[in-house]
Amino acid sequence: METRKLILIIILSTSLLLLWESWQKEIQPPAQVTPGVVSGDGNNQRHDPLPVPGDELAGASQSDVAAGIEGVAPSITPNLFEIGEKIQVTTDLVVAEIDTAGGDIRKLGLLEHPSREDETKPYELLLDQAARFQISQSGLIGDGLPSHKTKYTLDSNKYHYELGPGEDSVSVRLLAPEVDGIQVAKIYTFHRGTYVIDVAFEIVNHSDSTIMPFSYFQMFRDAKEPAGQGFLVHSHTGPALYTEEEKFLKVKFSNLDKNKAEYPTNADNGWIAMLEHYFLTAWLPEQGSPREYFIKRLAHNQYTAGVIVPVGAVEPGQTKTIDMPFYAGPQEQNKLAELSPGLDLTVDYGWLTVLAKPLFWLLSFYHSYVDNWGIAIILLTLTVKLLFFPLSAAGYRSMAKLRVVTPKLQRIREQYASDRQRMHQAMMEFYKQEKINPLGGCLPILVQIPVFIALFWTLLAAVELRYAPLALWITDMSVPDPYYVLPLMMGISMYIQSKLSPKPTDPIQARIMQIMPIAFSIFFFFFPAGLVLYSLCNNILSILQQWQITRMLEKKAEAEDEKKSKGKGKLSGKNASSTEAEEVEEAEDKRETKQLTHSDAAKKEESDIEDAEVIETREEAPKEVKTSPAPEKPKPKQSARGKGKGRKGKRR
């Protein structure tokens, strides 16, 4: 009873924790950003100094390079960002907003991915609000060169750009103030059919001296996680980078707060990104060129991650351009690998990536034919189930055998209840006698667990399921079922499956088996509908397979019992026939014995008569003549029955 209470308390506490977390997300106000320290005049100060290349990349001391940017002071503003003129760019995939203050991309909405708050609006991956912000910044490092603090002007008076029919790209050109004969233009180029934006700096040297600038490209954001993250469904939010030497590496904001973040800085390959569930932003430098990565905490709830790339020498009268691709879009696994090596690793499958990738490929293959991600999930689950059918069959066959012999096991437990060692020995002997492996039902299932976990994470990380409908009320398989129909069906399927499994002889285990369907149903209330659909389909297929195998074994057992019963009947018939024969033989023996008894009596009577006659003859003979009696001829032996007849004839 105490164990049952403990189990119920644990389940109730977990359920309350999940409900509390969900309720807090609904009612809590947006987190307020603390942009930094407060200056003397009461205005908030944003801590965003320019990045400085290290000695290895610069070929000089940091103080020498930093000397060129000492005149740029941090901006002081009552808002988080300086506000300039807004330039809107619309393509077939994105709608972006560029601010002339810093020449940053302040907003970027994904037209094919609706917002959770308002489905009529695109999801804003880049945003410059205090409640949630992430922006793209870039600039040059060098004396008098423009940075993300520079006020740019438009090369034209056009404030709205749209990718028209038949156009493959559209460009926005911003001009920085000319300083000491150095003219710089910042150029954004948006392309059709891709989320990659080319960011370029065009440097024209009208001075009399050679300059050697550096360029930097960074993401600046807060640590707030996107909507939908929770205790059961969680993915990495924060910086990540990739190099061929160190491979894929994620950096936690908490480690940056503690100054414990470790990551490679100098390389000639790789990329750097900011990740969140389903989406990412990333700078993709050209492979083979030197670069320096940096990830920093600027202030409370302010983080930056980027890359510094040398521009090289710009001689007097020379024009030089440096270009950097910027990706801002969904984590589409099939397309990311084509952009840069290792970029597809941002789709976070954890340590089961090796298994998850082929599963997603198969899921996409089915979707290309049925054009419904829900049906594709069902087909994928069916395929995985068929692949593991032999293993599952072996496991369920062993479980079915255990289910048949459970009453016998229970009797063994009751018989040796006071001696656990003797009970264990008796059970092992029983398993050996019945040719049952007690672990046979577990091992085949354990082999399948990594595959099912990989499939779980595949569905969890797939942005393709975001706002992907199944049918009827399920219009988005990346969020929980709004009416909890699938979780309830999942609980029912688990209950049915528990009934098909061997009934535990241990009362504590039996209680756990009764409570598990309820507990798991509560967990599945908070799972995305796509995950619940997969689990439900897997359970239904498992129930059908387990029922079929159990029924087959039960029929086989019934046939064997019937065969044994018939064998016992034949044996009983044989015993009855032999008994009758024995009775007949015994009767004959008795009759013969009786006849023999009568013959013996007659034989004795005949012998007595003959003796009497001999005596009488001796008395009549003369006393003086002594004659010897003639010797008697031996009489032939007769059967008792023959002797009797002779004697009877003589009497007549």
Q: What is the model's pLDDT at position 6?
A: 41
Does one domain contain both 311 and 400?
no
Does one domain contain both 150 and 48?
yes
Q: What is the model's pLDDT at position 43?
A: 36
Does one domain contain both 394 and 323?
no
The per-residue pLDDT for range 113-122, each reduced to its tens digit, is: 988 888 889 9
Q: What is the model's pLDDT at position 293?
A: 94
Does one domain contain both 398 and 310?
no
Question: Taking Cα atoms as reference points, which of 606, 589, 612, 591 lies closest to residue 644?
Answer: 606
Number of C-alpha atoms within 13 angstroms, CB side, residue 3? 8
Does one domain contain both 61 and 190?
yes
- pLDDT score of 646 more than 70: no
- The last residue of a domain, from among 275, 308, 327: 327
- Those residues with Cβ within 8 angstroms of residue 356's Cβ, 6 or more apart along the chain or in another chain: 349, 454, 455, 457, 458, 461
- At 212 the three-state DSSP class reads coil
Does one domain contain both 372 and 454?
yes
The first and second tokens of residue 383, run together, are 């395929």
Answer whether residue 252 is part of any domain: no
- The last residue of a domain, from among 534, 560, 586: 560
Q: Which of the listed ranges 19-33, 278-292, 558-572 does the model predict with the highest average pLDDT?
A: 278-292
Q: Tell me how many domains the chain contains.
A: 2
Other beta carbons within 10 angstroms of residue 347's beta carbon come to: 26
Q: What is the mean pLDDT of residues 589-600?
A: 54
* CATH number reported for the structural domain that contains residue 320 in this entry: 2.70.98.90
Q: What is the model's pLDDT at position 14?
A: 47
Q: What is the model's pLDDT at position 366?
A: 92
Q: What is the model's pLDDT at position 501?
A: 66
The per-residue pLDDT for range 238-272, each reduced to its tens digit, is: 999 999 988 899 999 889 988 888 888 899 999 99
The answer for 462, left when phi > 0, alpha when psi is -120 to 50, beta otherwise, is beta
Other beta carbons within 10 angstroms of residue 162's beta carbon come to: 12
Q: What is the mean pLDDT of residues 528-545?
A: 83
Q: Which of the listed ranges 9-23, 170-184, 383-397 does the model predict with the highest average pLDDT?
A: 170-184
Residue 69 pLDDT level (bands cut at 50, 70, 90): very low
Residue 613 pLDDT level (bands cut at 50, 70, 90): low
Q: What is the mean pLDDT of residues 599-620?
A: 52
Q: For residues 475 and 119, what is the distance between their CA atoms, to the nearest angstrom?
A: 12
Answer whether residue 238 is part of any domain: no
- pLDDT score of 58 more than 60: no
Answer whether residue 142 is part of any domain: yes
Q: Which of the listed ranges 18-27, 208-217, 442-451, 565-574 does the model predict with the highest average pLDDT?
A: 208-217
Contact 129, 107 (CB under 8 A): no
Answer whether residue 84 is part of any domain: yes
- pLDDT score of 503 more than 60: yes
Kindly report which listed range (212-216, 450-454, 518-522) carries the lowest average pLDDT score: 518-522
Does one domain contain both 462 and 393?
yes
Does one domain contain both 75 and 215?
yes
- 394 vs 426, residue with greater confidence: 426
Average pLDDT of the chain is 75
pTM, two decimal places: 0.70
Does one domain contain both 198 and 313?
yes
* Helices (H), ranges, 231-310: 253-257
Cβ burial of 461 (10 Å; 0-12, 13-18, 19+) is buried
- The last residue of a domain, from among 539, 560, 581: 560
Q: What is the model's pLDDT at position 205?
A: 92
Q: What is the model's pLDDT at position 30?
A: 36
Does one domain contain both 316 and 376?
no
- Calculate the alpha carbon distances from 478 to 42, 459, 461, 466 in Å: 44, 8, 9, 5
Q: For residues 52 and 548, what is the distance between their CA atoms, to the nearest angstrom?
A: 69
Q: What is the mean pLDDT of residues 83-101?
A: 93
Q: What is the model's pLDDT at position 605?
A: 54
- 9 vs 293, residue with greater confidence: 293
Answer whether residue 354 is part of any domain: no
Q: For residues 603 and 618, what is the distance between their CA atoms, to the nearest angstrom?
A: 23
Full domain range(s) for residue 74: 44-224+298-327
Q: What is the mean pLDDT of residues 587-616?
A: 54
What DSSP character marks residue 74?
P
Answer whether residue 449 is part of any domain: yes
Q: What is the model's pLDDT at position 7?
A: 41
- 44 vs 351, residue with greater confidence: 351
Does one domain contain both 310 and 367?
no
- 467 vs 393, residue with greater confidence: 467
Answer whether residue 465 is part of any domain: yes
Does one domain contain both 459 and 312?
no
Question: Taking Cα atoms as reference points, which of 326, 276, 219 lies closest to residue 461?
Answer: 276
Taking every pair of Cα atoms in the chain, the longest distance, rounded to a whole number of angstroms, is 194
Question: Taking Cα atoms as reference points, which of 528, 368, 349, 315 lies closest to residue 455?
Answer: 349
Express as a percent the part of the chain with pLDDT over 70: 65
Answer whether residue 485 is part of any domain: yes
Q: What is the mean pLDDT of residues 223-231?
A: 69
